[in-house]
Structure 1
Amino acid sequence: MPDTAPSRFPEIVPLGLDGLLVRFADRFAEDGNRAALAFRAAVEAAGLDGLRETSCSLGATYLRFDPRQVPVERLEEQVTGLLEGRDWYHAPLPAGRRLWSIPTVWGGADGPQLDTVAALAGVSAQEAVAMLSVARLRVMTIGFAPGLPYLGQLPEIWNLPRQTDLQTRVPPGALGLAVRQCVLFPAQTPTGWYHVARTAFRCFRPESGTPFPLRPGDELTFPAVSAREIAALEGDPDGGARCEVTG
C-alpha cells in the first residue's frame, strides 16, 4: 500500500440506488489517480452484469449500474473480486493513451499571473517557463466545465493555494496553475487558478463527433511559442497540437 493512501483504501461506497464509488485515496496523489484509471479500464474490460456507465475523479472510480438487472450486493461482490486481484496503485495505466504537444504562449498579456506564480515558487519567470513548458502532465480527470482537464502532478514548488477572491477571468484556451496541477479552460471563466499561459486548443467541441478530445490518462506538454504564432493558430481546434499514441 502506498504512503499516500490510508489503510482503509480502497473502499467501496454505495451512491444512491444505482451507483458505487470505489475510492483509492482521500487526497490528490499520483498513485491514487493511477489506481482509479487502471481500475476503471479493468471494470470495463470485465463486462460486469448490469454495468451502464463508468467515470473517474482524481482518486476514485464511479460505476453506474441497472439495479433491475443486478442487485447491488452482487455487483459489490464482483467489484471486490477485481480489487483483490492486484495492486492497483502500481498497475499499468490503460492502453490507448496519447501524448499531446500543445503550443503555448507563456506570460505577458496571455499569462498575466506568471510573474506572481514564479515569485511564489521562488524562481524567475524565465526559470518557470523553462520548467513548466517541458513538464509532462497527465489528464487526471475531466470535470467542472465540459471538457476541462485537471493535469498533474507538478513538483512540490508548484504547490500553491488557489486564489480566494475569484477576480481572475480567463479566456478560452487559458492555462491555470495551482496546487501542483494545471487546468486548461474550455470557455471564458472566473477562477481562483493563476492564469499563467494561453493556448489555441479547444477542450470542448460540441459541434464535433468527439466533443471531448482529451481523455483521462492522456499526457500533455505545453512548449513555448510566441503570441504571434498562437494568433495564427486560432482557427485550428487543435491549436497546432501534435498527438501520438504512447500506451
Structure 2
Amino acid sequence: MAELPRIRYVGLSGLLVQFGTDMSEPANRAAIAFRAAVDAHNWPEVRETSTSLVSTFISVDLAACAPEPLVEKLQALLETRNWLESPLPAGRTFWEIPALYGTDAGPQLEEAAEAAGVSPETAIAELSEARMRVLTLGFAPGQPYTGELPPHWNIPRQQALTQSVPAGALVVAIRQLIVFTNATPTGWRHVGQTAFRNFRPDSDTPIALSPGDEICFRSVSAAEYARIQQSDTSGNGGAQREILS
C-alpha cells in the first residue's frame, strides 16, 4: 500500500488526497486543514472541495483537464508541512446546541449508557459536556458526524434498524454523535433530541455547520426544551455560537 498521504483518482470527477485509512483525530484535522489550503490557492481548474473523515476531495473535470499539473501542485502543497500536525484553520464556529436527553425524546439513552459501561446520569454528563468537532457531513444533506467521544463510547451500531428517528434526533455510536437532518431509519442509538436543523434549504446558508466547527450538546430540561420548540422557528434550536480565532 502506498505511503500516506497519497493522491488517488476518483474516476473523471476529481482527485482524493487521503491522510488515513481509519478515523483518527490527526487525519481528520489534516483533511480539513489541507482543504482550506487548497481553497486559499483558488486554482482555476478546481470546481469545489470537500472532506470526508480522513480525506480531502478536489472536484475537477478530468475529461476536460489534464490531471498531471494539478497532481504536481497538490504534491508540492503536501510537502510544505506535516499535515497531521497542522492546526485547524481559523474562522471556524463553536456551537452550543440544547438537547433533551433520555425520556421519550431519547428512548435508547439507557441502552447506550449500558453499552458504554456508565450510568444514564454519567452518560448525560459526558455527552453534554464533550466538546466535539464536526468531522464531516454526509449520508443525508447537511448531516454532521461529530467526534470523538472518550474510548468507552466506541459502542457498536445496533444489529437491527430503528424504523425511524425524527429530524433533530441525537444519536450515538463508534465515539460519534450525529444530529439527524430529517426523519430516517438508523442503526445508531437515539439518546436525545434537539430542535436544531442543520439543513435549511430555504436559507441563504442552507447548511449551518461546516467540517472543523466545534460543538457541544448542552443538556436542558424538558420544560426548557419545550420553550425552545415554541419560541424558535428559525431552525437554530436555541443554539448559541461564537467564531473561533
Instruction: Tell me the TM-score range normalised by the shorter chain.
Output: over 0.9
Structure 1 segments of 4 or more deviating over 3 A? 66-70
Equivalent residue, structure 2, for 1:191: 186
Aligned pairs for 1:45-56 (under 5 A) are: 45-56=40-51
Tell me the CA shift for residue 47 of structure 1.
2.1
Output one character per residue of 1:100-156: Cα deviation in whole Å (capped at 9) or x when no partner: 001110101011111011111111100111111010010000010011000001110
**Aligned ranges for residues 58-137 of structure 1 at < 5 Å?**
58-67=53-62, 70-137=65-132
Unpaired runs of 5+ residues, structure 1, are: 1-5
Three-state SS of the structure 1 residue aligned to 2:182 is coil
Give distance in 2, aligned partners of 1:236 and 1:61. 31
Secondary structure in 2 matching 1:77: helix
TM-score normalised by L of structure 2: 0.95
Q: Is the 8 A contact 1:49 1:69 kept in 2?
A: no
Matched, 1:42 2:42: no
Distance 1:26 1:107 in 2: 34
What's the secondary structure of 1:51's corresponding residue? coil
CA distance in 2, matches of 1:147, 1:14: 25
The alignment covers a number of residue pairs equal to 242
Contact 1:48 1:78 (8 Å CA) reproduced? no
Aligned to 1:149: 144
Gaps of 5+ in 2: none
- Alpha-carbon offset, residue 68 of structure 1: 6.8
Contact residue 12 and residue 63 of structure 2 kept, 8 A: no
- CA deviation digits over 1:80-100, x for unaligned, max 9? 000011000010101211110
1:206 match: 201
Q: What does residue 213 of structure 2 align with? A: 218
Task: Give the letter aligned to residue 210 of structure 2.
Answer: R
Residues of 1 paired with 2:222 and 2:208: CA distance? 24
Matched with 1:3 is none
CA distance in 1, matches of 2:113, 2:49: 38
Q: Secondary structure at the match of 1:195?
A: strand
Question: What is the TM-score normalised by the length of structure 1?
Answer: 0.94
Percent identical among aligned pairs is: 50
RMSD (Å) for aligned C-alpha atoms: 1.4
Moved more, 40-49 or 86-95: 40-49
Q: 1:18 to 1:147 in 2, by over 3 A?
A: closer
Aligned amino acid, residue 150 of structure 2: P
Q: Aligned match of 2:240 in 226, 239, 242?
A: 242
Moved more, 108-117 or 60-69: 60-69
